[in-house]
Structure 1
């Protein structure tokens, strides 16, 4: 705080606050069985002539090692977090910090290049806004710095990291009455919100609440909006996807994924893995269910023109079904629905997350609820598509929960779905009698229900 107006030197007020915060962090860490502590410092310390003196003093006073990382490493950490925890494989990550803005170019799930610009919200605030300079002067300075960005940093997909971009995304969500309260993976088209960004960068602090900006961001959001507009214009971005993770998670993942080339294996979704581990679903093997679901989905994809992109979400729902039973066997689907809404955060779009939750929500006798659908309509499939997906999900879950048969054959012809097996499906058939079918679908069971002879 106050450093950029003093040639970058750390000031007593900032040193005081940093020491107290780090001391409290260390006390918190000691409450847990922590094996390793990673602490990194970014632009404020790397720009400060007395930055190394500060880290030496902290080591002496608190026995904490602080690594001062350069801007390109900072950019890589942010991109590493986004690449592993967002549903993206291409784009340019943008992390607007207090002293620098750090960018990474991502192509085919690899970080190709990184670049750090000496532009940050606190830097612009102290150099221009606190000195009553004009916005035009600040903008000219920003554009001049961004002009140094290499020309290959161009991509239609921007990946927004850090507090400034998250605050802008939250403002957009509130202004649009977005149905989900989840910032991670929220996306939008830039052209629809250019006026909003301009209004924020020119607004007085008294007007910021009316633009849905929280009080904690009043001091630097205008500066951040100016920087953000200049960057997205320079890289020719058309769309933004917001990251709820950043450098902090990237530092962890850099250590955690070191032996796997810094990326989760393709068959691992960290949210699914976490939920299944925490809710102890080790007893449940859903591989047979997923195999049958694929067969049934293929039939509906062909006969009902069901988009193939929904198969992945259907398999997510089947794989996550067991977590509901760890709460209570009654209303298990409701428990799973609420858990997924709050815990299924990483590696999926909002549409995939809410569809997965809805399949579990409607799992059972009912395929659709008018009021629930109305609330989330903007992020859900068409009504008939949702009903068919819910029907497929419920049929598969019912078959496997009410029989010990490992495989089934399905036939869909003239809107009649026939389920075939050479064993008994008595319990499953009784359950499926109450199942609501999509308007044009009928259901028939072909099984063998034999019992021993009796003469009493």
Structure 2
């Protein structure tokens, strides 16, 4: 089967970007090429609201460069979209024609509503957030949306962006205290004018390069131990600290801040003030970075064409299934282990053993899908590979703390290795939560030992208990000696976490 490549060109007010995606067997898009050029087209808008000849020439030069990159791929489709700078240009029709003549790109100018919608669509199709406010600040406009139950309720495009705010409020590269306060008041009034933003008390989700840079700065300052930016969460105090720190720096020092792109150093302060002022207006309960934005939203619309909805049914479930496919996991074994784990979980819960709650099953089930997936790389060090892959891979639908929890459960080998993996993150959970994660890992490991030969030999589980012993009867449909050996070997990890001795008895019954 030939590889299917798709490309999108995003002509923004600050940057222009070419992204090429490869569509995998499951239908999802993987980014394989990402080319960025700083154009700052909004600075070429003249008093008569036309884009100057120099601006058009700069844009065409970059598009021609993109075209050379595209020539190396066999593409199924190329989409070219433009946002605020071209949308606001009075000579946009001439620009569209010139682009087509010079490059064959059929430029589509997105309306304010479309630009906001695609940002929202990217967020709800790449996270598990049911409700939130999105904000995407470009060079010449800022889009905000409010969604609830994953449905778009409100959207608005403000006619200002990081570049235009800088031009309007700063007389030099960096603002004075007075100028910054004027910017802050202006943004407060702008956001308060939308009643549906006020005191929503929901997550604020940042999209685009400005939000990405803020998250990168925060991670570098904290020496953050996990890889990845998507679904990274910050607080009000995090935003305030970064803002105040950046404000104290001269431009030469600002350009050297770890995590901040040099080409954004002069416009990062307007961007972060947009996020902070909006955070306060919304009374947000966190600032979450979405690496998926407008470009992804455009393709999500394409992928779901003809489905009756542009929303993926279950983002996290699809991400887990993607892991199962990527690491060639045994779906038959996973299904059988789920069957055994569910029986054992419910009996332990009913008897009050192990401090399980009903809601814990979803965590256990999720981790059991990807248990020991690092075996795909190397059997001897499978626990290490499992932990590293899951902890450091973006998993759409999981916040970073939940991704780490999944990694700890799915990589469980023994108490020593568990503590080793947990050590850099021990402050993320209190002791009781750490013990529960370890219990879940030991539970999953034990359940997999009951199907060690992948023959579904163990069909049912029945348990009884007294003060210090858990009696577990395993009903089998075929020879069970390998499963008996493995479960006797692995039960010690579950005994330690349950604080009970476990006695296993195997019996064979006909099918």
Coarse TM-score class (shorter-chain normalised) = 0.7 to 0.9
Distance in 2, matches of 1:269 and 1:178, equals 27
Aligned residues: 449
1:191-236 Cα offsets, whole Å, 9 max, x none, are 4542432443564324436865524331210111222222222223
Distance in 1, matches of 2:468 and 2:247, equals 57
Distance in 1, matches of 2:193 and 2:395, equals 35
Quote the residue 2:111 is aligned against. Answer: 70
Counterparts of residues 152-167 of structure 1 (less than 5 Å): 154-156=199-201, 157-167=203-213
The TM-score with structure 2 as length reference comes to 0.79
1:74-93 Cα offsets, whole Å, 9 max, x none, are 11111111111112000111
Asked if the contact 1:426–1:449 (Cα under 8 Å) also holds between the matched residues in 2, the reply is no
Distance in 2, matches of 1:281 and 1:33, equals 31
The alignment status of 1:420 with 2:479, answered yes or no, reads no
Residue of structure 1 aligned with 2:217, choices 163, 166, 171: 171
Shift of 1:333: 4.0
The alignment status of 1:355 with 2:396, answered yes or no, reads no
Asked if the contact 1:415–1:441 (Cα under 8 Å) also holds between the matched residues in 2, the reply is yes
More strand as a share of residues: 2
Asked if the contact 1:419–1:444 (Cα under 8 Å) also holds between the matched residues in 2, the reply is yes
User: For 1:409, what is the secondary structure of its paired residue?
Assistant: strand
Asked if the contact 1:119–1:145 (Cα under 8 Å) also holds between the matched residues in 2, the reply is no
Shift of 1:404: 2.9
Quote the residue 1:200 is aligned against. Answer: 246
The alignment status of 1:106 with 2:147, answered yes or no, reads yes
1:252-275 Cα offsets, whole Å, 9 max, x none, are 101112314111123863322333
Quote the residue 1:129 is aligned against. Answer: 170
Quote the residue 1:221 is aligned against. Answer: 268
The alignment status of 1:397 with 2:448, answered yes or no, reads yes
Gaps spanning 5+ residues in structure 2: where?
Answer: 1-39
* C-alpha RMSD of the superposition: 2.9
User: For 1:400, what is the secondary structure of its paired residue?
Assistant: coil
Distance in 2, matches of 1:411 and 1:18, equals 70
The alignment status of 1:276 with 2:324, answered yes or no, reads yes
Residue of structure 1 aligned with 2:287, choices 240, 246, 264: 240
**Structure 1 range deviating more: 296-305 or 87-96:** 296-305
Gaps spanning 5+ residues in structure 1: where?
Answer: 451-456
Distance in 1, matches of 2:330 and 2:442, equals 26
Counterparts of residues 296-315 of structure 1 (less than 5 Å): 296-301=344-349, 302-315=352-365
Quote the residue 2:425 is aligned against. Answer: 376
Q: 1:278 to 1:422 in 2, by over 3 A?
A: closer
Asked if the contact 2:137–2:161 (Cα under 8 Å) also holds between the matched residues in 1, the reply is yes
1:355-410 Cα offsets, whole Å, 9 max, x none, are 221223224x5574333211122445733212211111101111112353253314
The TM-score with structure 1 as length reference comes to 0.88
More RCO (CA 8 Å, sep 6+): 1
Distance in 2, matches of 1:128 and 1:393, equals 58
Asked if the contact 2:133–2:147 (Cα under 8 Å) also holds between the matched residues in 1, the reply is yes
Asked if the contact 1:4–1:127 (Cα under 8 Å) also holds between the matched residues in 2, the reply is no
Q: 1:145 to 1:120 in 2, by over 3 A?
A: same
Q: 1:308 to 1:226 in 2, by over 3 A?
A: same
The alignment status of 1:254 with 2:301, answered yes or no, reads yes
1:108-150 Cα offsets, whole Å, 9 max, x none, are 1111121111121011122333557722343344344334324
Shift of 1:60: 1.2
**Structure 1 range deviating more: 275-284 or 422-431:** 275-284
Q: 1:353 to 1:310 in 2, by over 3 A?
A: farther
